[in-house]
Amino acid sequence: MRADDLDQILHEACRLVAEALGTELAKVVALGADGRTLTVRAGIGWRDEVDGVTTDITCGPEGLALRSGAAVVSPNLAQEQRFDVPDFVREHGCQATVCVVIVGVDGTAPYGVLQVDSRRPQAFGEQDVAFLQSYANLLAAAVGRLRANARLRRKADDNERLLRELQHRVKNNLQVIVAILDLQSRQLRTPESRAAMRGVARRVEALRLLHDKLHLSGEVDELDLGEYLAQLSAGLLSFHEGSTARVQLALEVEPGLVVSPDQAAPLGLAVNEFITNSLKHAFGDRVGRIGLTLAAAPAQRALLRLWDDGRGLPEPRPKNGTGMRMIESFGRQLGSAVHWSSDGTGTRLEMTIRLRGT
Instruction: Give 165-225 as a DSSP string.
Output: HHHHHHHHHHHHHHHHHHHHHHH-SSHHHHHHHHHHHHHHHHHHHHHHHHHHHT-SS-EEH
pLDDT at 170 over 60: yes
C-alpha neighbours within 13 Å on the C-beta side of residue 277:
25
- The pLDDT, as a whole number, for residue 139 is 92
Burial class (CB in 10 A: 0-12, 13-18, 19+), 138: middle
**Parallel, antiparallel, or unpaired for β 288-297 and 258-259?**
unpaired
- Pairwise CA distance, residues 201 & 179, whole Å: 8
Q: Boundaries of CATH 3.30.565.10 in the chain?
A: 221-358
Residue 240: predicted pLDDT: 66
Every domain range in the chain assigned CATH 3.30.450.40: 6-151
Instruction: Please count the other Cβ atoms lying within 10 Å of the Cβ belonging to residue 345.
Output: 10
Reported as a pLDDT band with limits 50, 70 and 90, residue 236 is confident
Q: How many CA atoms lie within 13 A of 112 on its CB side?
A: 23
Please say whether the dihedral angle defined by the alpha carbons of residues 133, 135, 140 and 143, taken in this order, is positive or negative. Answer: negative
pTM attached to this predicted model:
0.55
pLDDT, position 241: 57
Length of the chain: 358
Residue 322 has pLDDT above 80, yes or no: no
| Strand arrangement, sheet containing 347-354 | 247-253, 288-297, 301-308, 347-354, 338-342
Between the alpha carbon of residue 15 and those of residues 3, 88, 278, 298, the distances in Å are 16, 19, 75, 55
Domain 221-358 has CATH 3.30.565.10: yes
Distance CA 94, CA 5 (A): 29
Per-residue pLDDT of 23-49, as tens digits, reads 889 999 999 989 999 999 999 998 877
pLDDT digits (tens, 9 = 90+) for 263-303: 888 898 898 889 888 888 888 888 889 999 999 999 899 99
> Phi and psi of 127, rounded to 5°?
-65, -35
Q: How many helices (H) and strands (E) does the chain have?
A: 9, 13
**Which of helix, strand or coil describes residue 1?**
coil
CATH class of 6-151: alpha beta
